Structure 1
Amino acid sequence: MTPTTPTTDTPYPIAGQTVVLRPTTAGHVPVFLEILGHPDIALWWGGYDLERVRRELLGPHGYAVELAGEVVGLIIYREENDPDHRHAAMDLAVHPAHHGQGLGCDAMRAMAEYLFRAKGHHRVVIDPAAQNERAIRSCGRAGFQPVGVMRSYERSTDGTWHDGLLMELLREDL
C-alpha cells in the first residue's frame, strides 16, 4: 500500500466486505440511543443521552454501521494532526443482537482503510476497556496489536476508573 494525499473532509459511504459505513445524520440518533442504551453496550459506553449523541456522534467523523440497509452499530474516529504524532483513533459499538458475525471487525478494517488511504494516516489506534474481552478479540481479528495497558484510563458511569488496552494498526499491517 502506498501513501496517499489526504482528501477533503467531506464524508461519504465506506464499503466493507459485509457492512457499509454511512455518514451520520439526525435520523440515526434514535437507533444510536437504543444501541448505546443496551446494558451490554452501556457497560462500556455509559452516559450517552440525546445531547451527547448529537454532540459527539453526528458530524464528519461519525458513521452508522449498516448491514443490508439496517443500522447495527456506530463507528467514530478522531485525528491527531500534530505532524510529529499524526495518527487516527476510532471507537465502535455494535448492537449485541449482531455480535459474533464479524461485523465489528469488518467495520474497523473498512474505517482503517479509509483513514490510511483517504486521510493519509500511517497509524490507527483503538482503546477497548481492558476487561472487554469480546472487543479485544474483535480488534485483534481486524489486525490491531496490543501496545499496553493504560491504568485507570476511563471513568465508568458509576464514577470508578477502569483500565484500557491501547491497540494499534499500522498501514503496512492491513
Structure 2
Amino acid sequence: MRLVEVTQAHVVPLRRIVCTPEVALRWGVREPPPDWPYDDASVTPFAILVDGAVAGMIQYGEEDDPMYRHASIDIFLDPEFHGDGLGRDAVRTLSRYLFRVRDHHRIVIDPAADNLPAIRCYTAVGFRPVGVMRRYERNAHEDGWHDGLLMDLLAEELPDY
C-alpha cells in the first residue's frame, strides 16, 4: 500500500469508486462535481495504491489556529478492499505523517455513528470515541439527518509513533 498525492491519472478511478453504492452511501455522492477531487482547497487528497492500482482515497484537513491546531482525516476505499485491513494501514500511515511531518498533536475523524466497520477500523489504529454529534450530517439519500461519532487520536497514542 502506498499513499501518493492525487494526480489527474487517479481521477477517473477515484470517481468510479466514490460513486459505488457502498461508498456513495457514506460520502453522499451521486455525481462528483466536475473538478472533484480538487474542488476543496481546504483538504489534501492522497490516492491509496495497491500494486500500483487505485484502491481509494484518503485526505486530511488542518485547523491552523494555534489555540485549536489539529488535523482531520476522511477516507474511502473501493468496496473490493473492504474488510482486509487496507483502511487501517492507510489511516495509520497518514496519521504518522500528520504527527511526524506536519507536527500535529491530535487528529480527529468523524464516521457516521452507525458505520461500525469504519469505527472498528479507526479504533484498531488507536482512535477513541469523544462523543456523539447528534443530527450531524444529512444522510446520502437526503431524507434526514444522522448522528456522527467524533473520534480522536493523540500522537503519543499511536503505536510506533
In the alignment, is the contact (CA less than 8 A) between 1:36 and 1:46 conserved in 2?
no
Q: For residues 52 and 91 of structure 1, what CA distance do their matches in structure 2 show?
A: 18
2:48 is aligned with 1:65? yes
Partner residue in 2 for 1:173: 157
Partner amino acid, structure 2, of 1:132: N
SS of the equivalent of 1:154 reads strand
Partner residue in 2 for 1:20: 2
Choose which of 152, 157, 161 in structure 1 pairs with 2:145. 161
Unaligned runs of 5+ in 1: 1-18
Q: For residues 50 and 29 of structure 1, what CA distance do their matches in structure 2 show?
A: 12
2:69 is aligned with 1:89? no
Tell me by how many angstroms 1:68 deviates.
1.3
TM-score for both structures, normalised by structure 1: 0.84
Partner amino acid, structure 2, of 1:89: S
Tell me by how many angstroms 1:158 deviates.
2.5
Tell me by how many angstroms 1:57 deviates.
6.6
- Structure 1 residues 41 and 173: alpha-carbon distance in aligned structure 2, compared to 1, 3 A threshold: same
SS of the equivalent of 2:59 reads strand
The 5 Å alignment of 1:1-174 reads: 19-47=1-29, 48-51=31-34, 53-56=36-39, 61-159=44-142, 160-174=144-158
Partner amino acid, structure 2, of 1:23: E
In the alignment, is the contact (CA less than 8 A) between 2:43 and 2:61 conserved in 1?
no
Cα-to-partner distance string for 1:45-102 (whole Å, 9 max, x where unaligned): 1225142523347897110001111110100100000101000000000111011110
- Structure 1 residues 37 and 150: alpha-carbon distance in aligned structure 2, compared to 1, 3 A threshold: same
Two-structure CA RMSD over aligned residues (Å): 1.7
Q: For residues 77 and 43 of structure 1, what CA distance do their matches in structure 2 show?
A: 20
Q: For residues 138 and 43 of structure 2, what CA distance do their matches in structure 1 show?
A: 26
Unaligned runs of 5+ in 2: none
TM-score for both structures, normalised by structure 2: 0.91
Q: For residues 87 and 47 of structure 2, what CA distance do their matches in structure 1 show?
A: 12
Identical residues among aligned pairs (%): 46
Q: Which range is displaced more, 122-131 or 156-165? A: 156-165
